[in-house]
Structure 1
Amino acid sequence: MLNIGIFLAGPSREREIAFAGGRTVYDNLNKQLFRPIPIFVDSFGQLCLLDWEYLYKGSIRDFYPPVEALPPSPHHFQIYVESLGLSKQASKELLAQIGRPISFSELPELIDFAFLSLHGEWGEDGQLQGMLEALGIPYSGSGIRASSLGMDKSFQKKMMQAGGFESPPIQQIWAKDWSGELPNLEQLKKEMGFPLVVRPSNQGSSIGVRIVEQAEDLLDALENAFFGLEISAEDWQQMSREEQIQWMRKLLDIRSGLGFPLEVEGPKKDKQLLYHPEQLLALLDKELGQGHSPKLRLQSQYREESVLLEGFIEGREFSCVVIQDEDGQAIALPPTEIIKGKELFDYRSKYLAGLSRKLTPIDLPEAQIQAIRQECERLFRFLEFDVYARIDGFIQADGRIILNDPNTTSGMLPSSFFFHQAAEIGLNPSHFLSFIIHRSLLARSRKCLRPNNYGQLLARLESEMQRLEGEVAELQKVAVILGGYSSERHISVESGRNIYEKLASSADYLPFPVFLTGKAEDQQLYELPINLLLKDNADDIRDKLLNYKVHPIIQKIRQETAHIANQFSGRSSRLDPRSLSFDELSEETRLAFIALHGRPGEDGALQRELAKRGIAFNGSEADSAALTIDKYQSLQKLKAAGLPVTEQILLSKSDYLAQPEQSLQQAGEKLGWPLIAKPVDDGCSSAVKKIKNEAELEAFLAALFREEDILPKIAQERLAILPKEEFPQKQYALLEQLVEQKDALHFLEVTVGLLCHHEADGSIRYEVFEPSETLASGEILSLEEKFLAGEGQNITPARLAVGELEYAPLAAQIKADLEQAARILGVTGYARIDAFVRIYADGRAETLVIEVNSLPGMTPATCIFHQTAINGYQPFDFIRQILTFGQERQAQNSLLSSSQED
């Protein structure tokens, strides 16, 4: 077994995706071949053997810097460690709270191989690769020179032009020459025209990139790419306080804003270096709010050496992963088309499920697809990349291919291009990671000019792979049911993929993915091959299923890579989907994990079908599931049992359409403004809005009760609905009184997970985990904050202690209240309960349940994994406990049914 050091996080602006990608590698490495060791790289390039429980935090900011080290922040700004303004030694002391700080010199004793999931600076620029080579440690991907070329976009463009690759016109602007003034516009229009693209030279994930349609927007785009901006007193004073705070949050974000620390320059050219956003807010209030200065200039310390201007490329955008075979030959996998208009394929679109569409292979004649592959292979060879790379580009209407972004590493989230295209040749993520490690060992052994042990490591790995291939393990088959047809279908796919991957990399289970589609009265099941499981979202999977065919290019590439698939996939992989009935499902397995959210999934209908056939499943049984999905009925039941809940109105579409004005007026009179409006039976923050007046409520109901798929314009304008934001059509709206602090000493929103265990006496014991405090950047916790890597913040355990009051007795009260709620609603298996908590000066904690999720989201970073880690469960252990409970419950139910028949 090889010790694989997984380098994650890092100092770059892409650190959150690098952290999430490292977690994907950790989870998917074949545990029978590799021992994963997470190595956290902090903002200063220091290393730490990360305690495993921190690996499952949603954001680096959830655990580093530790909560105890955070300065007071009245506006709850989320910061990275560099905002503390610490010395290197002081930051190392903080690292000791999340693991064991280590030096580079210790690495050879700790790891056999370095898997680099870092992005940007340190990960893709050759720096870390050079240090590892000096230490004699083999690493993944390309070598030093190729990595450096892959990261520096400006020099890369010059190299590609010299190599005869098609290129748009480019112009480089150096930071040393940048004075905040526009370049020669007449010359620019003549050379490249508008629109054009502005990009920093050393960033990925579309960070700092803008498409500029007209000359008047160019200055702002250049400022953005150099990570600086100017703000005037007039602009500051025109914003409301809420708008100022939101502006600050965006500024704080190292992906879309400047990040901290930053330099502030006044009209007299005096400069101050500020580390924390509260410092900047106070300065802006003083200088701009009170009119002491007409304007201030802000400049991030994470600056760029140069910025590129590129002619806009009209064409169809694609991304193509290129890999090497055992002889070092480049093989391009099927290129994927990014379906969009002229909008930027930005960070949010790249990484949040359901916001982008990808088509593999790109929909073009075979000859053109082959031309794309050949050009990508040629660039791979020209830049002397190793092992794998992701190459982005465009194909124009005349067939010209322009490659504009070769990357020596790729995002490693489950549905990234990296895994997405490998799945087309039959490799699941675990297989593909084994391939990467094997080929990287080959590349290092071939190119290293001094004696090394790389060949020995390679021989060890191949020996272990042969041993596993010869073993026939008794694995338990598990159907992982995902998808659906609700507004939560994309998150269901994310959850199901995560469950599948955790089980697939274990030595205990043989999972197979089952996609549910259709409609309530006609549900259809399909067993998915791995290539469909790793499509970008539920709609892509459904469309592929309903129009299934194997593209000739895919067949060709499978033939070219058959030797790779045979070497790394172990047992044969399914390459085509298969329709299943529930009866056929029961012939395949007696165990299912339902990864569906909302309807269908949490409404009890699927549970009834499975129970009928003796298939054990996770979560609550049918009746309880049908109750908890209804936020009105479940809270009313809790209220009848004496538990405090907020005031509610259940408003039907028919009643509203009959008396719209009266309905709006009654809502305001009973609940007051603002109020919360939401669907009665959806989760995942789908269409949950804070409504401030009758006009906004009218817009919300127009959207929820609409007949057409397209949202009414009134709703888009009044509710600020984001592009591609899911907004379901329903027959009922749930209106709730806004829960507020009132006279409590402390007030917060929490989410708490629980797990059930069967006791020897037949009773059920509830294990209630420590509460997580949820912090929303806006009025409502968003989909991104729940599920997008690096967004939002969950503090676990929640900050309950206030004044002289201690955490333990307050947490005990909250957990007891939530266990009582679960028992009243008949919840079993596991669940997540969201609630508001008021803490009073006398030590009393009042818990108001918001909703109960009988099948909570199980995406990699969901906070239920933060909570289970405190109790010693790694994610796989938690999933195994969930499945075990379901099996034990099914066995008990079968015995009970048999005894009743007798």
Structure 2
Amino acid sequence: MKIGIFFGGPSREREISFAGGRTVYDNLDKALFEAVPVFVDSRGNFILLDWHYIYKGTIRDFYPPVSALPRTELPVQMYLESLGDLSVEDQDRIIAEVGRRILPHELPQLIDFAFLALHGPAGEDGAIQGLLEWYGVPYSGSGILPSAFGIDKIAQKKLLKALGRPTPDFRQITAEEWDTADPQATLSYLTRELGLPLVFKAPRQGSSIGVSILREADVAKFAAAIERSLFRKTVTQAEWQGLAEHKKIVWLQQLVDIREGIGLPVVLNDEPELIYQPEQLLRTLNERLQTAEAVRLTSVEGETQVLVESFVQGREFSCIVVEDPTGQPLALPPTEIVKGEEMFDYRSKYLPGLSRKVTPIDLPEAEIQRIREACEEMFRTFGFQVYARLDGFIGPDGQLFLNDPNTTSGMLPASFFFHQAAEIGLNPSQFLTYLIRTSLAARRRAGLRPVKLAALLTQLDDAVAARASEERQRTKVAVIMGGYSSERHISVESGRNIYEKLASSVKYEPVPVFLTGNSQEFRLYVLPINVMLKDNADDIREKVEHQEAGHSLHPILERIRHEAQAITSTYAGQPTAQPRRVTFEELAGMVDEVFIALHGRPGEDGALQRELESYGLPYNGSGVDSSSITINKFETNRRLREAGLRVAEHRMANRLEWQADAEGFYRSLETQFPYPFIAKPADDGCSSAVKKIKNRAELEAFTRLIFRDQESLIPAEATTLSLGFKEEFPQKDAFLVETLIDRDGAAHFLEVTGGLLTHWGDNGELQIEVFEASEALATGEVLSLEEKFLAGEGQNITPARYAADLQERQRISEEVKRELRRVAEVLNIQGYARIDAFVRVRQNGAVEVLIIEVNSLPGMTPATCIFHQTALAGYTPYDFIDQILEFGKQRNEKATVQG
């Protein structure tokens, strides 16, 4: 069955839709479905996307293509709408570089079913549902009417009030009312009617976009909250002129971000002319704010109303409700969202480790059942179909509020959507199969092409039954994830991604294994799917330790699993189980090979590899000796320098030296390394604690933090280093100090990251395939964790833009690849790796490659740029993983023969 996956779209949630569409594309059962990627651009064009663009980190990394972008020196990527009022011919030229335009009437010939991974307006508001019904194409989720209702928060609130259902009190303010109102009088009215705190929402947005909380009766903060929900921004002359040039660039980057800012194009002071491009906006602000006291920017895709609600003090939860095979709603176990901050914002939702998802919510069984029944009732009341996500609060007095029902849900690997389905035993691939089947039944029930859909249902049911009865010998691969370093959350993201790529294949049967413990003792646990899809590594560790302590299954989970038996008996391959601790010997008896999805220590240091070799288990990546070198950035740099490669000036800074004479320690570093310089751990990756040190105060703060005795951060030092919310900072006995690599007068200067893959040649020699490197654009002083791994966050351009002239670009690229290949040879890297470097191109064309670090087990999250690079070389992520596993198996066979 051909499944058209619709993703992207014009909404502010397009990046999450893009990442969710990729998840669906990768997880569709390859034995049942053929995935057809239908990318929807921000003008609503349907594009049959060339597959390799699916693996870009963000939409802006490939669309519009570089050839269509105006020349700019600003480090700000643009969406299609920044290209201005394009003709159909211009749009077709742009579309042709990434795929081909699909006209709506072609859809019935191209696909049998539309899986909608679109969000927000033009995705879950009934518009696309209506178009698909017009052409007789069945689609996932709710129909036209419930979708239109599900997008409108104000209409939902009014219905809930009319039905006498508990919902926070609210008022609405239109843009016209706000423009003529006295802000102080409006704030006084709202605080009198609703009390403080107040919650402000954009009525037709999701993913917490346009949401603010006002805690105090401050008029300036109140006006900013209203503007945020209307997607406006007032800039004062004093504010603008107080910003240094580089700070204006950062401000601009934030403003044009469609999630945190208002996006482009904008109008200025309600003038008719639109401002489309970042450079144009910067120039206009510099000119206008010379004389004007303030200007107001308004997004052309703003809102016309603001929903203001009273703040609900209570425990926040989210519950996925699905239709069972008889068409009745079945609430999955509700998840409590435990936040470190009051608002469950975009970063907290999508970056692992920033919030915790506790499933089921920690309440008595009767209370959880009350939440489930309320969610099922709302599902019926609003006429939702197939599935929905319902959010709510339960107050200290037990009062239940349901709020903001969604007819679709984020579809990232560990989202509520897959997370709760896993609690009844369905992995993402199985859950998607069930939703497609349920959606076909819902469309047929509503009268859409009943004869045709009956035939499709029969075809799918037969295929599912045949797949279940197949006896297929698949290669068992233990996917080891987790660990105990500051990189453990990213390791879990990588491990899940590897698991899901292998689970939907016909060749491999992945076994998720969680590693915890310490450097003296590795503890291994085989995970059931529901535990693997917990939010982050700490939640998984807590779950396995909880189970080891002899705690039984939560009674509500037993109840829900019993209620879901009609689903799981058909779609789940095996019954749900509990985490189980295993020894290495037992693991060797269970699996054929191992994929190490760990980062840093343990994983990349050779210790785990040595253990696996002792049991004859093939594994991915470099061997013991090479891993023990590349884990140590100081030793890596020393060897590369000895081999004639360029690296930064560097030295180790030790705790004992600091304890003996702190002042002498600081002076010694300042003498050798003029400010600013880089300080970082020598054996951690993923941008963990990498800081640009600009003065003595920052050096002292960094030193005290990394040499601290207690686990918690020291608040004053964390503030000095501007550490983000929940940013991890490891404790070490030494750290690495390096000169800051800068342009040094080069004509062109950029940061790149390049991947490689090794193969065995016909004569048994090692061959190294180096991919086109990606150009990494950091918004801050160094590349952040989010920019590297969070879907829609990083700005990577693949291939890197070494030069405008294509021939010159290729010449420089070949030189860079040659240097990266030398690095791999010097360090005896095997399997695959990622090498980070800076590239200087001199006026005379000379190329200098300065190596920063080598990752022998690079991040394999869905958004990581190594997949963009392999796609250019013709490898899908699955193909790349398959090559890595095959290499490890062949290496093991060679070692056995030689042994």
Provide the TM-score with structure 2 as the length reference: 0.98
Aligned-pair identity in percent equals: 54
Q: Which residue of 1 aligns with 2:510?
A: 511
Partner of 1:731: 733
Instruction: Give the structure 2 partner of residue 244 of structure 1.
Output: 248
3-state secondary structure, aligned to 2:750: strand
Residue in 2 that maps onto 1:36: 35
Q: C-alpha deviations, 1:573-631, integer Å up to 9, x for none?
A: 44211111011111111300000000110010000000111000000001100100100
Equivalent position SS for 2:710? coil
Whole-angstrom CA distance in 1 between matches of 2:481 and 2:341: 32
C-alpha displacement of 1:702: 1.1
Cα distance per residue 1:338-368 (max 9 Å; x no partner):
0125610000000001111011110111111
| SS of residue in 1 equivalent to 2:423 | helix
| Deviations, residues 275-309 of structure 1 (Å, cap 9, x unaligned) | 01111111111121xx2211111101111121100
Aligned to 1:617, what secondary structure does the other structure show? Answer: coil
1:264 aligns with 2:265: no
Residues of 1 paired with 2:415 and 2:197: CA distance? 28
Deviation of the 1:3 alpha carbon: 0.2
Superposed counterparts of 1:690-701, under 5 Å: 690-701=692-703
AA at the equivalent of 2:99: G
Instruction: Choose the corresponding residue for 1:559, options 557, 562, 587.
Output: 562
> What displacement does 1:522 show?
1.4
Query: Retained in 1: the 8 A contact 2:317–2:391?
Result: yes
Match of 1:568 among 571, 579, 594: 571
Greater shift, 737-746 or 587-596, is seen at 737-746
1:350-402 C-alpha deviation (Å, 9 max, x unpaired): 00011110111101111110000000000000001001000000011121110
| Whole-angstrom distance in 2 between the partners of 1:421 and 1:668 | 53
- Corresponding residue number in structure 1 for 2:424: 425
SS class of match (1:425):
coil
Matches within 5 A, 1:626-645: 626-645=628-647
Shift of 1:450: 5.6
Superposition RMSD in Å: 1.2
Match of residue 176 from structure 1: 176
On the 8 A contact 2:340/2:355 being kept in 1, the answer is: no
For the residues of structure 2 that align with 1:384 and 1:162, how far apart are their CA atoms? 16
Q: Is 1:778 aligned to residue 780 of structure 2?
A: yes
CA distance in 2, matches of 1:803, 1:358: 49
Aligned residues: 890
SS of residue matched to 2:515: strand
Give the alignment of 1:133-148 within 5 angstroms: 133-148=133-148
Task: State the Cα deviation string for residues 675-731 of structure 1 (Å, max 9, x = none).
Answer: 011100010001111111111111111111111122122322211101101111111
**What is the distance in 1 between the residues matched to 2:449 and 2:529?**
41
Query: How far off is 1:458 after superposition?
Result: 0.8
Alpha-carbon contact 1:163-1:382 (below 8 Å) kept: no
Secondary structure in structure 2 of the residue aligned to 1:132: helix
Residue 257 of structure 2: aligned partner: 253
Q: Retained in 1: the 8 A contact 2:831–2:884? A: yes
Q: How far apart in 2 are the matches of 1:450 and 1:620? A: 55
Q: Structure 1 residues 795, 342: CA separation in 2 closer, same or farther (over 3 Å shift)?
A: closer
**CA deviation digits over 1:45-84, x for unaligned, max 9?**
0100000000000000000010121112212211111011
**Unpaired runs of at least 5, structure 2:** none
Between the aligned partners of 2:25 and 2:100, the Cα distance in structure 1 is 18
Q: CA offset at residue 646 of structure 1?
A: 0.8
How far the C-alpha of 1:187 sits from its partner, in A, is 3.0
Matches within 5 A, 1:96-135: 96-135=96-135
Matches within 5 A, 1:259-658: 259-265=263-269, 270-288=271-289, 291-340=290-339, 343-448=342-447, 451-548=450-547, 549-569=552-572, 571-658=573-660
Q: CA deviation at 1:114?
A: 0.2
In 2, the alpha carbon distance for the partners of 1:742 and 1:180 equals: 54
C-alpha separation in 1, matches of 2:660 and 2:458: 76
Q: Secondary structure at the match of 1:339?
A: strand
Q: TM-score, normalised by structure 1?
A: 0.97
Q: In 2, Cα distance between the equivalents of 1:208 and 1:483? A: 34
Q: Which amino acid aligns with 1:234?
A: A
Tell me the distance in 2 between the aligned counterparts of 1:610 and 1:722: 37
* Alpha-carbon shift at residue 657 of structure 1 (Å): 2.0
Aligned mates of 1:669, 1:7 — CA distance in 2 = 58
Cα distance between partner residues in 1 of 2:160 and 2:345: 24
CA contact (8 A) 1:746 1:802 kept: no
Query: Which segment is superposed worse, 137-146 or 651-660?
Result: 651-660
Please list the CA deviations of residues 533-565 of structure 1 after superposition, one character each: whole Å capped at 9, or x if unmatched: 000000000001101231000000000001201
Offset from partner CA, 1:151-173 (integer Å, 9 cap, x none): 11011111122223101111011
- For the structure 1 residues 101 and 527, does the alpha-carbon distance in structure 2 shift closer, same or farther, using more than 3 Å as the test? same
1:748-763 alignment, distance < 5 Å: 748-763=750-765
CA contact (8 A) 2:339 2:354 kept: no
Contact 2:340–2:354 (CA under 8 A) maintained in structure 1:
no
**1:207–1:346 contact (8 Å) kept in structure 2:** yes
2:875 matched residue in structure 1: 873
- Provide the residue aligned with 1:816 in structure 2: 818
Which structure 1 segments of 5+ residues have no match?
898-902
- TM-fit CA distance, 1:803: 6.4
Alignment partner of 1:179: what SS? Answer: helix
CA shift for structure 1 position 176: 3.3
For residues 598 and 574 of structure 1, the distance between their equivalents in structure 2, rounded to whole angstroms, comes to: 31
Give 3-state SS (helix, strand or coil) of 2:36's partner.
Answer: strand
AA matched with 1:514: V
Which deviates more from structure 2 when the two are superposed, residues 837-846 or residues 251-260? 837-846
1:449 Cα offset (Å)? 5.7
Distance verdict in 2 for CA 1:310–1:483, change over 3 Å: same
* Secondary structure of 1:11 counterpart: coil
Aligned partners of 2:394, 2:310: CA distance in 1, in Å? Answer: 15
Q: How many Å apart are 1:270 and its aligned residue? A: 4.5
Determine helix, strand or coil for the equivalent of 2:608: helix
How far apart are the structure 1 equivalents of 2:477 and 2:448?
48
Paired residues of 1:393 and 1:403 also in contact (CA < 8 A): yes
1:874-889 counterparts in 2 under 5 A? 874-889=876-891
Are 1:197 and 1:311, in contact at CA under 8 Å, matched by a contact in 2?
Answer: yes
Cα distance in structure 2, aligned partners of 1:510 and 1:128 = 37
2:149 counterpart residue number: 149
d(CA) in 2 for partners of 1:14 and 1:451? 33
Match of 1:220 in 2: 224
Mapped to 1, the partners of 2:651 and 2:700 lie a distance apart of 15
Answer whether contact 1:590 1:614 (CA < 8 A) is retained. no
- For the residues of structure 2 that align with 1:632 and 1:341, how far apart are their CA atoms? 35
Kept in 1, the 8 Å contact 2:749–2:840? The answer is yes
Q: 1:235 aligns with which of 233, 239, 246?
A: 239
DSSP 3-state at the match of 1:547: helix
CA–CA distance in structure 2, aligned partners of residues 179 and 88 of structure 1: 35
Report the Cα distance in structure 2 between the residues aligned to 1:406 and 1:73, rounded to whole angstroms: 42
Identify which range, 55-64 or 811-820, moves more after superposition.
811-820
With over 3 angstroms needed to count, the CA separation of the structure-2 counterparts of 1:186 and 1:713, relative to structure 1, is closer
Residue deviations 1:497-527 (CA, integer Å, cap 9, x gap) = 0000000000000001000001111110000
Matches within 5 A, 1:197-212: 197-212=199-214
Q: What is the SS of the residue equivalent to 1:139?
A: coil
After TM superposition, give the deviation of residue 180 of structure 1 in Å: 6.4
Alpha-carbon distance between aligned partners in 2 of 1:574 and 1:451, rounded to the nearest angstrom: 35
Taking the aligned partners of 2:435 and 2:683, their CA distance within structure 1 comes to 43
Look up the equivalent residue of 1:251 and give its one-letter code: L
Structure 1 segment 639-678 matched on structure 2, within 5 A: 639-678=641-680
Q: Distance in 2 between matches of 1:693 and 1:602?
A: 33
d(CA) in 2 for partners of 1:187 and 1:483?
A: 51
Tell me, in whole angstroms, the C-alpha distance in 1 between the residues paired with 2:583 and 2:392.
Answer: 42
Aligned residue type for 1:152 = D
Deviating 4+ runs (over 6 angstroms):
none
Report the more deviating stretch, 579-588 or 704-713. 704-713
